[in-house]
Amino acid sequence: MPPTFDLREILYYFEENAGKILIVIGITSFTIGLLFLSSLPSMISILGFFFGIIFTFTGILVHTETIVHNVSRADKVGAILIVISVVFFAGSFACFLVRDIGRVVVVVPFGFKLRSGENPRIFEVRIAEFGYPFLWLVKPLFLAALGSLIMGIILKHR
């Protein structure tokens, strides 16, 4: 007789272990972000860090039952503010990671003696200067995250 699958049991399993599943997904996503990290982070790396931070901390909050089984309205608002602060922290970190090449500077070292017929371009050194196009967003997102975290904790423990 073939095995039967009861959808209720599967959903019950996911409901009971939601925090652990979110933590595993978050750590996996964060690891993917680390593996794709280079001098110019790719979008895979940035999204890996972003979703890794969100899923890991949301999983921890679900596992510790911080954002489930809320009783009062203040507890619910506090839990929502804590989750929003995690998203803002992850966004601030992702904005800090985004880099692009601002300009390339060509430097010719001084004092090289060229023999007749040599090309002087051989001695050129190209230096890439990186720019951070979203660096201006780091501070507002970080402050919004810090404010919502503090307000969420205050409302949770009222």
pLDDT tens, position by position, for the chain (158 residues)?
677 778 888 888 888 888 899 999 999 999 998 888 876 778 888 899 999 999 998 898 888 877 666 567 778 888 889 889 999 999 999 888 888 777 777 666 655 556 665 655 556 677 777 778 888 999 999 999 999 999 999 988 87
Decide if 48 contacts 30 (C-beta within 8 A).
yes
CB atoms within 10 A of CB 41: 17
101: three-class secondary structure by DSSP: strand
CA-based torsion, 153, 154, 156, 157: positive or negative: positive
- Residue 56 has a pLDDT of 92
CA-based torsion, 51, 20, 35, 86: positive or negative: positive
- Residue 156 has a pLDDT of 82
- Residue 24 has a pLDDT of 94
Could you tell me the end-to-end alpha-carbon distance of the chain, in angstroms, rounded to an integer?
56
* Per-residue pLDDT tens digits for 60-101: 888 887 766 656 777 888 888 988 999 999 999 988 888 877
pTM: 0.71
Residue 45: both structure tokens together: 């790396």
Residue 113: both structure tokens together: 């003696």
